[in-house]
Chains A and B, each alone.
Chain A
Amino acid sequence: MKDFDYAAPTSVQDATTLLAEYGERARMLAGGTDIIVQLREGLRDAEMVIDIKKISELMALEYSAEAGLTLGAGVPCYQVYENAEISAAYPALADSTRIIGGWQIQARASVGGNLCNSSPAADTIPSLISLGASCRIAGPQGEREVAVSDFCTAPGRNILETGELLVSIQLPPSTAHSGSAYERFIPRNEMDIAVVGAGSWVQLDESGSTIQEARISLAAVGPTPIVAQQAAESLAGQEASEENLAAAAGLAREAASPIDDMRGTTEYRVHLVGVLVKRTLARAVARARGES
């Protein structure tokens, strides 16, 4: 690895000051499971590596039924899925964090880091988007909030400006009769990057038979995670039937614009979008009904 300096600031202020000074020459270090690989392989450069794990706001994990979830940017994946309350409230996020790269990776890797790495194939982002998550960002000019769906701009790039730092991810309180799910397709059963990923969230009515609202998001089928807006809107006010879910899955396919690469062909990925959206919608509906 090329040489770099290391700092472990203990406040958001100190971190943003360092970031402002180093700009593109600094990289953030949370779990390290992406950045260390990238530094070692020369895919990303750094003169300064800023470890955020000593900043308490970034390591905070706070949940209440009333306020929702505050997920500090550096909180490792395992703390999400091992928390029964959080897993019950946000099952899609539990799904995602449980399957990222094996136990050793989950012990370190953070959802915030997964988001900031901004890979189009990131497993947590479709879940965050479908759960309506937003980012709390701190910078030299102060704080701002950005919807996760607006965060990624291109493969590996996002809306963070020079000096800015992701502090935490906010998830709104979970509502009754809602459910979510994330699934990805990989050739093996673990340790692969998603060929396609789908995160779905549904809000059912009290009877559990009608979908009031849905959100669907896709991984690995575009330059950024994709919001399948049309597909989601098509479900509003619809019966949560197999046919309707399948129809929405069909619409979701149209939102996808995958490339051909060694992980999958365009044709195969488009097809898988339909399969996974159908499956995650069905699981989300089942969870919303309290079935699984």
Chain B
Amino acid sequence: MSSGNGNYRVLGTRPRRHDGAEKVTGSAIYANDVQLPGLLTGFVLRSPHPHARIRSIDTSEAEATEGVFAVISGKDFPEVADKVADLGEGSVNLSYLSGNVMAKGKVLYKGHAVAAVAAVNIHVAEEAASKIKIDYEVLPSVTWVLDAMADDAPLLHENLFTDHMGEKDEKPSNTAVHMHFEKGNIEEGFAAADVIVEREFKTATVHQGYIEPHVSVADWTTSGRLKIWTATQGAFTARQQTAEVLQIPISDVVVTPCEIGGGFGGKIAVYLEPVTALLSKKSGRPVRISMTRAGVFEGTGPTPGSFMRVKIGATSDGKLVAGEAWLAYDAGAYPGGMIGPGCMCVFSCYDIEHAVVDGYDVCMNKPHTQAYRAPGATQVAFACEQVVDEIAEQLGICKLEIRQLNAAKEGMRRVDGPVYPRIGLVECLDAVAQSDHWKSPLEGENRGRGIAAGFWFGCGLKSSVSASVNHDGTVNLTEGSPDIGGTRTSIAMQLAEVLGIDTFDVIPQVVDTDSVGYTDVTGGSRVTFATGLAAYEAGLDLQRQMAGRAADLWECSADDISVVEGEFKGPDKSASFKELAQELFKDGEPLVARASVAPDCSTNGFAVHIADVEVDPETGKVTILRYTAIQDAGKAIHPSYVEGQMQGGAVQGIGWALNEEYFFNDNDTMDNASFLDYRMPTMLDVPMIDTIIVEVANPDHPYGVRGVGEPPIVPPPAAIANAISEATTTRFFELPMSPPKVWKGLSETS
């Protein structure tokens, strides 16, 4: 069930995390726990309409309310040029970002922020917000992707023209981008196929569902510098975005990333930071806003809903020879959705010689979409994995074998271009075959087993760390990657491993943007890989320094010093790391090391999940009986936290598969903006999630680490759909496969 320790002292062990005691006692400081003298509470007023022009805003009554210190609206924000900024994981159009933070002139979705109030407490702020008078001219709206693509669809942006691979249409449209990828010759491919399956799929909007809402605190009162404490996956990107929206120099802003209650991609874009900043400036007091749960659902960044058509052809021996995908994804209110990764992932698990992928990024009156854990990949896996299953059915081939036959391997070119280096999908499929789950027969009526594969790139991006040695031989490790799932410890473990010291002799700290070099987001499955790599290199830097100083101390050449398992060995003297550190403290410069990295590669994580389900034909309810998540982690630094990523992603995927969706009513507004009716799995809805960690070392990391955070959310809806099909002989092509839909589908087939 877990990886062995192998040749490592520290890697593969399961120490308590460094920040664990604070988290289990409730003393860890999240953004809502920050206490500052004179702190005011803010509240955001949001549009009740999905699409409307703002004719006027009158904040006078709100401003005159006792206990209110400041009121702002779109007019308080500077105009931002229509320019694109690189924010690390993707780029963003700054005028869109600014417009999303607070509407100017037009609201594009219900929940779009239109004004904000800072007051003595939340109750006064809410009451004052209700006194803000806004005159809206309601416009027609659209919330289904195919409707939004139609010629007569209500237009969100009058100056948006579809970009077809660099060429722009002449007529404005809601479709921002059309991308196209090709390999081989698709006609030839389908001509050679003995069996072809083509299906259409729909998926609903779903939210990351982090339990902590967005929270930001801003103090822009003294010294001219804007100080922010916020729940963010990336303090540096929050700094940059906030500075751009407010049109102030980046150096005027310092962001402290607080402990964060979940992100999954949804806490990278800023929403509250610029708002609290302006409220603070206007009121002369620090201001905190904690979003309401309804505000989170309606005013942040869910993942795209989609319409997909996938067609795959195979020869009678089970070889997949041609694949075609037509993918239309919600971008929400502004362009810049997840269609790119969707296109790149749709056929990413299989070696298909001929393929064509067309993808469309479509605007509509929904909140602007953001990344949700392997953004865009879950949708396409739901489609592709079911089509592969159907082909296996038609050919009478085992569903595991067809995947093994066609599995992506080193040297395969993906439809979007990159060639895979060493990857571990084949090993994952082998692990399925060897697993107790796969070997255990599933008996009983209305029960079925499904498998599905999934892929996510896992990026590198930039990380910086510094390491300074304390004179007791412990090491302070300063890094800038917010710790959402135990990464402080997995990074510290890599430094401890290279230095030959104990995990708890490394003291990791996640610090603010003034205190460490630039570091990209905690996201993209990159932190254990990239920040760990930086820690590793800082460790090597430290060893070089210490070896040089030891040479001086021991009066030998630095070439004569070797480091074996953390012990410095000279020609006739040796010392442990701690002994040498204590000795070197007495004289000479303090020992401080640093490293920054920008690995330009993907870590290529593959996952395969097995799901056993039971379907109640009388109600359409699907129960997960047994679930196993198998994934190539490259090298599991802390196996418990790798397992945790696999289990957490699997359960998010189960929710996505069975019950989660935004219900939009006839007024194009969301009916279920609460945890009551946005139905995420409770503990009672899932069984234990068994895990099998496969380790095919990543050639781009000294310890072989691959990103593990995102792949586990990719297979579940597909695995469950395949299982339901086995259980009932009915396939479902829409997400979620909720009880009313399953019941209806079953009663129609029977």
Contacts and interface: CB of A to CB of B under 8 A. Distances in A.
B684 interface: yes
Interface stretch (A6-14, A163-171, A201-209, A257-265): A257-265
A188 B659 contact: yes
Contacts of B168: none
A266 to B, nearest CB: 11
Nearest to A279: B618
Given A187-B738, A188-B682, A268-B744, A263 B618 contact: no
Given A187-B679, A192-B679, A272 B672 contact: no
Contacts of B681: 188
Interface in A184-230: 185, 187-193, 195
Contacts of B743: 268, 271
B676 A193 contact: yes
Q: Main SS of chain A's interface residues?
A: loop
B676 A268 contact: no
Given A188-B659, A275-B619, A262 B672 contact: yes
Given A262-B663, A268-B744, A3 B676 contact: no
Nearest to B665: A262
Nearest to A2: B127
A1 interface: yes
Contact of B679 (A1, A188, A268, A275): A188
A261 B665 CA distance: 9
A262 B676 CA distance: 12
Nearest to A275: B618
Contacts of B744: 267-268
A: contact size bracket: 20 to 34
Contact of A185 (B619, B659, B665): B619
B14 interface: no
A275 B739 CA distance: 14
A272 B619 contact: yes
A189 B682 contact: yes
Contacts of A3: 123
B560 interface: no
Nearest to B740: A268
B393 interface: no
Nearest to B618: A275
Nearest to B126: A1
Contacts, number: 55
Contact of A187 (B126, B659, B671): B659
A277 to B, nearest CB: 12
Given A3-B123, A262-B672, A190 B619 contact: no
B621 interface: yes
Contact of B676 (A192, A261, A271, A275): A192
B479 to A, nearest CB: 37
Contacts of A189: 682, 684-685
Nearest to A272: B619
Contacts of B127: 2
Contacts of A263: 677
B677 A262 contact: yes
Interface string B665-697: 100000110011101011011000000000000
Contacts of B740: 264-265, 268
A187 B619 CA distance: 9
B621 to A, nearest CB: 7
Contacts of A271: 743
B550 to A, nearest CB: 60
Contacts of B677: 192-193, 262-263
A29 B682 CA distance: 28
Nearest to B671: A262
A2 B658 CA distance: 37
A275 B677 CA distance: 23
Contact of A191 (B618, B619, B663, B682): B682
B45 to A, nearest CB: 14
Nearest to A274: B618
Contacts of A191: 675-676, 682
Return the 9 tightest CB-CB contacts between A and B, nearest first.
Answer: A262-B663, A189-B684, A268-B740, A275-B618, A262-B671, A190-B684, A189-B685, A188-B685, A187-B659
Given A185-B619, A271-B743, 6 more contacts: A2-B127, A187-B659, A188-B685, A189-B682, A192-B679, A268-B740
26 contacts: A1-B126, A102-B682, A187-B621, A187-B679, A187-B738, A188-B679, A188-B684, A188-B685, A189-B682, A189-B684, A190-B682, A190-B684, A190-B685, A192-B676, A192-B677, A193-B676, A261-B671, A262-B665, A262-B671, A263-B677, A264-B740, A265-B740, A268-B620, A268-B740, A275-B618, A275-B619
